[in-house]
Amino acid sequence: MDFGGSFLYRLLKDLLKWVKGRKGNLSPADRLAAREKWKPVFEEKIAERRRDGLRSDVVVRDVKRLDQYPNTQESERGISAWFKVGLVGTYHKGVMVQLNWIGIVSGEKGWRLRGPKDPKNSGLTAALIGYVPYENIVSVDWEGDEYYSHAQIFCHFDARQGEPYEKLAYCERKQDRHVEWYSEIATYEEIKKNSRHGEKHGYA
């Protein structure tokens, strides 16, 4: 892909358009415009991938740290400037990306992580899902590049704790014939609170 060509121009144009009014100052009209722009695009792409049996992999990238790709910053604190996830669905405000599969069990205080003392097959294996609002999406390159052939979603990382998601939740994957969806079980914070210190959440 030629980053010196039309895609880079579109990316910079979209970025300049969305920079103004960030940090919670987007107007309702701005949010509506983003949802009307991206909702049909993502719904079509997700349906196409499922119909054709294609992988759901995408690369999520921080528009403020474009030049860090494709390198990794081992010493950098916080979320990486880019990472691979699964694009698994949409919700009324944005897209759903899967970060990991994690074992959880129902305890006295609610759902918690499955620990080493729990039976191996107890509870269920849940998908850790990040919810990315449409207004956090700047541009999408569906073709990928010479490093990764996956689609690349360029986002503002200014939602939950400097991340692209407004929420993280553990969800159960459900399927009925050709329809697939993810049903929320508990938020990341709820399960973290109920779990033992030091247990792995599948998320830094």
Q: Which pTM was predicted?
A: 0.85
Read off the pLDDT of residues 118-128 as tens digits, 9 standing for 90 and up. Answer: 998 899 999 99
HSE-CB for 57 with a 13 A CA cutoff: 8
C-alpha distance from residue 88 to each of 131, 147, 166, 181, 199 (Å): 11, 22, 16, 8, 26
What's the CA dihedral at 37, 42, 45, 51 to 10 degrees?
-130
Ranges under pLDDT 50 in the chain: 1, 3, 20-21, 204
Read off the pLDDT of residues 133-168 as tens digits, 9 standing for 90 and up. Answer: 999 999 999 999 999 999 999 999 998 889 999 999
Q: Smallest Cα–Cα separation from 113: which of 182, 186, 184?
A: 186
